Amino acid sequence: MNKSYKLLSAPMAGFTNYAFRELLRIFGGVDVIETEMVSARSFVELELRSSEFPSRLWGVCGESLVTVQIWDNSPDTLSEFASRLACDFGVCGIDLNFGCPADRIAGKSASGSYLLRYPDRIGDIVKKVVVAAGKIPVTAKIRLGCTNDSINAVDVAQAIESAGASGVIVHGRTASAMYSGRADWDAIAAIKPKLKKIPLYGNGDIKTVEDAVERLENYPVDGIMIGRAAIAKPWIFKQIRAKIENRPIPPEPSFEELKNLIRLHYDLLRQQLNETHAIIQLRKHVCHYATGQKYSRQFRNSICSTNNENNFFNLINQYFSNKTNNINNPVINGNVR
């Protein structure tokens, strides 16, 4: 395989905060780690009112491998934000969101995937942000189009390239499809011959190491972006990288290693959040770790009922143990709360 393939971690609201990004760096294998999507308008207005920054930028200053994904529909607002990110935060990259289909973004704010209707307007935004970002690379994330009847990813990607972007990331669904159905990787592949030099990264339905290898081997992409699969397996990039480099694939973590990982994740969250909010945030990840294990539904019910650190880790230690399969485990029979 081509060892130069890039592996990107997708922006995911409620998940890709500083603590999770640090876990990805610790496991390794990933080339680009994106933040949660940050509103350029919120940044500008919040700074004017209080000289504070959005919480989603916590920890970004000086962070390695980090790209901040930003959104709005105003070239001036986006370029002002990009300039600050480049000059004052020292980010490694800036990614423009033209793919989010959520109503709050694409509907009420006429941003995200709404802008796919207007390739020229996207080009104007990218051009202004590229200038403002200086030497910091600017990429853009898009979808195939707004609907199946208006697929225009080639036009949009060409506009992005002509405006000076350093790469384009394409999710293989339309905005109207949201996350239903299957990502169309043939449609992603059709974009590559239409680009002159910038890299194309594919995104959508990569759930396993085997999925990643299949996409890289069978489609003309320069790399892949993985989102939801990394929530359950933040070590997946390390495994994919090993496969790309023809090395043995690291095994899945043991229960003991999972317990250590969860404790580390909690300690990282506590750098930013209080105990209750750290536990609430961590519960989402832990529920993913339990997927496929016996009695996972009972475990999720138990773990999601506590905000207390001691109770939380008692449940973790009891479930992720060699006694998990025992129906007398208090996590299973409901004796622990």
Count CB-CB contacts under 10 A for residue 88.
10
For residue 7, which of 265, 215, 249 has the smallest C-alpha distance? 215
Structure tokens at 89: 């935060």
Residue 119's H or E segment, with its range, is helix 119-133
Q: What is the DSSP annotation of 229-293? A: HHHH-TTHHHHHHHHHTT-PPPPPPPHHHHHHHHHHHHHHHHTTS-HHHHHHHHHHHHHHHTTTS
Q: Taking CA 179 as the corner, what is the angle to CA 174 and CA 185, rounded to the nearest 5 degrees?
A: 60
Name residue, tokens 């750290």: 278
Rg over alpha carbons for the chain, rounded to the nearest Å, is 21
The SS3 call for residue 104 is: helix
Give rounded-to-5 percent helix, strand, coil for the chain.
Answer: 50, 10, 40
87 classed as catalytic = no
CA distance linking residue 170 with residue 173, whole number of Å: 9
Beta bridge partners of 171: 143, 203
Annotated active-site residue in 87, 100, 146, 287:
100
The SS3 call for residue 90 is: coil
Residue 223 DSSP symbol: E
Query: What is the rounded (10 degree) CA torsion for 228, 231, 232, 236?
Result: 90
Structure tokens at 214: 């299949």
Residue 25: which residues within 8 A CB-CB, separation 6 or more?
33, 64, 65
Structure tokens at 218: 């069978």
Which positions are catalytic? 100
